[in-house]
């Protein structure tokens, strides 16, 4: 039996002296960027009613929440996400455009703890009330400026589209298989999936050829050229065009900007642009974000919105590694 006086739970983590110094420097630099771009810092509650996650389709599984019962016997959970409470907050304020930033921890149970943490220190922004193009551009501007304050190199930013993914699922009458195939980048499963759809006359040969290419449609401007050879649906082409315009507007503002048409939404509430940030030394994305134009309706308000989060624990560890390798 382990002596629990000397070990931490696998869900927890602690920061040592040097790591804390790097993390706090990164946090301070991000605050400056956010403040300069007129983002107001908010402090959000650590607890939420568990039913909030049950009743609203978020993509956050209830069994991944750290749950408790309060003194009234109601189920509450540790905060698993910042977007939800901020959407609720903005839904009940008078201002049309809201620019919010935050720093704090989120808590999500992990099925496996190999390199993954249940306790994650995040920073982020949420932009609410701007139209899609202006909002997406501002979000990418915040990201570009924030990365310039960090000493990290070898950072790759990937853009995807939940609108593209959703319309594709609709066209091919997908029942959930496509997400799993793309998540695992399984070429063999895709071939079988396409063959089945062709035999059922759900898709034509042109769409079949596109789907068989989809997993490898990741890269730079050649992705758009290749995709347009196969696509005819107006909604797909509109989503692709929006992504293309963003790519060419921002490609010179990042060290490495790419597009991934096979990117699947991390959360069910994503409706448009999706953003992920990777580093050569990390298997998981340390930056993630996306557009969620329908989420505020849950709280009684129609408003376009987009958000972006930074995994500060991972970012500071990567920065420390790069210093050691210099």
Phi first, then psi, for residue 241 (nearest 5°) are: -65, -40
**What gap in Å lies between CA 95 and CA 148, rounded to an integer?**
30
Question: What is the CATH classification number for the domain harbouring 69?
Answer: 3.30.930.10
Are both 150 and 16 inside the same structural domain?
Answer: yes
Report yes or no on 67 lying in a domain. Answer: yes
Report yes or no on 3 lying in a domain. Answer: no
Residue 39 gets which letter from DSSP?
Answer: P
Are both 186 and 322 inside the same structural domain?
Answer: no
Average pLDDT over residues 118-140: 96
Contact (Cβ atoms closer than 8 angstroms) between residue 179 and residue 264? yes
Pairing state between β 47-49 and 305-311: unpaired
Model pLDDT for residues 54-78, shown as the tens digit of each residue: 877 777 888 889 999 999 999 999 9
Sheet architecture: strand order including 67-69: 47-49, 75-78, 67-69
Q: What is the pLDDT, as a whole number, of residue 257?
A: 98
Are both 273 and 169 inside the same structural domain?
Answer: yes
Are both 148 and 294 inside the same structural domain?
Answer: yes
Q: What is the pLDDT, as a whole number, of residue 18?
A: 65
Cβ count near 227 (within 10 Å): 21
Structure-model confidence comparison of residues 117 and 260, the more confident one: 260
**What gap in Å lies between CA 260 and CA 217, rounded to an integer?**
6
Report yes or no on 83 lying in a domain. Answer: yes
Q: CA nearest 315: which of 43, 63, 120?
A: 120
Is residue 294's pLDDT more than 90? yes
Structure-model confidence comparison of residues 167 and 320, the more confident one: 167
Are both 136 and 65 inside the same structural domain?
Answer: yes
Report yes or no on 5 lying in a domain. Answer: no
Are both 216 and 68 inside the same structural domain?
Answer: no
Give the structural domain span for 140.
10-154+280-326
Report yes or no on 96 lying in a domain. Answer: yes
Which of 242, 260, 278 delimits the end of a domain?
Answer: 278
Report yes or no on 210 lying in a domain. Answer: yes
Average pLDDT over residues 42-47: 94
Q: Which two tokens stand for residue 181?
A: 């195939």
Q: What is the pLDDT, as a whole number, of residue 326?
A: 67
Percent of the chain having pLDDT more than 90?
A: 76
Contact (Cβ atoms closer than 8 angstroms) between residue 138 and residue 126? no
Q: What is the mean pLDDT of the chain?
A: 92
Average pLDDT over residues 301-314: 95
Q: What is the pLDDT, as a whole number, of residue 238?
A: 98
Q: Is the pTM of this model over 0.85?
A: yes
Report yes or no on 150 lying in a domain. Answer: yes
Are both 56 and 127 inside the same structural domain?
Answer: yes
Are both 163 and 109 inside the same structural domain?
Answer: no
Phi first, then psi, for residue 142 (nearest 5°) are: -60, -45
Lowest model confidence (mean pLDDT) among 71-85, 103-117, 150-164, 194-208:
103-117
**What gap in Å lies between CA 79 and CA 85, rounded to an integer?**
9
Q: Which two tokens stand for residue 28?
A: 């301070």
Residues 210, 279, 321, CA angle at the centre, nearest 5°? 165
Model pLDDT for residues 80-115, shown as the tens digit of each residue: 999 989 999 999 887 899 999 999 999 988 776 555
Are both 214 and 128 inside the same structural domain?
Answer: no
User: Dihedral sign, CA of 125, 131, 132, 133?
Assistant: negative
Are both 291 and 270 inside the same structural domain?
Answer: no
Structure-model confidence comparison of residues 208 and 153, the more confident one: 208
Number of domains observed in the structure of the chain: 2
Are both 24 and 146 inside the same structural domain?
Answer: yes
Secondary structure class of 324 (helix, strand, coil): helix
Is residue 2's pLDDT more than 70? no
Are both 62 and 138 inside the same structural domain?
Answer: yes
Report yes or no on 125 lying in a domain. Answer: yes
């Amino acid at each position: 039996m382990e002596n629990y006086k000397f070990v931490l739970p696998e869900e927890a983590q602690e920061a040592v002296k040097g790591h804390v110094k790097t993390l706090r420097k990164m946090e301070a630099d991000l605050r400056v960027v956010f403040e300069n771009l007129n983002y107001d810092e908010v402090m959000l509650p650590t607890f939420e009613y568990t039913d909030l996650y049950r009743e609203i389709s978020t993509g956050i599984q209830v069994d991944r929440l750290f749950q408790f019962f309060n003194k009234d016997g109601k189920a509450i959970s540790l905060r698993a996400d910042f977007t939800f409470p901020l959407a609720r907050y903005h839904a009940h304020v008078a201002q049309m455009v809201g620019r919010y930033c935050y720093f704090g921890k989120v808590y999500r149970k992990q099925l496996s703890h190999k390199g993954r943490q249940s306790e994650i220190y995040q920073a982020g922004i949420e932009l609410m009330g701007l139209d899609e193009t202006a909002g997406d551009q501002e979000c990418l501007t915040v990201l570009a400026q924030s990365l310039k304050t960090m000493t990290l190199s070898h950072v790759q930013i990937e853009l995807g589209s939940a609108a593209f993914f959703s319309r594709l699922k609709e066209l091919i009458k997908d029942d959930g298989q496509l997400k799993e195939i793309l998540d695992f980048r399984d070429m063999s499963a895709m071939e079988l999936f396409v063959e089945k759809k062709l035999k059922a006359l759900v898709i034509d040969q042109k769409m079949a050829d596109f789907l068989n290419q989809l997993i490898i449609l990741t890269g730079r401007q050649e992705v758009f050229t290749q995709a347009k050879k196969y696509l005819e649906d107006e909604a797909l082409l509109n989503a692709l065009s929006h992504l293309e315009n963003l790519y060419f507007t921002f490609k010179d503002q990042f060290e490495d900007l790419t597009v991934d048409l096979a990117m699947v939404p991390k959360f069910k509430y994503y409706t448009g642009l999706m953003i992920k940030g990777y580093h050569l030394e990390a298997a998981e994305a340390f930056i993630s974000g996306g557009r969620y134009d329908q989420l505020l309706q849950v709280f009684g308000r129609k408003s376009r919105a987009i958000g972006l989060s930074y995994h500060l624990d991972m970012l500071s560890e990567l920065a420390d590694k790069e210093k050691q390798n210099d």
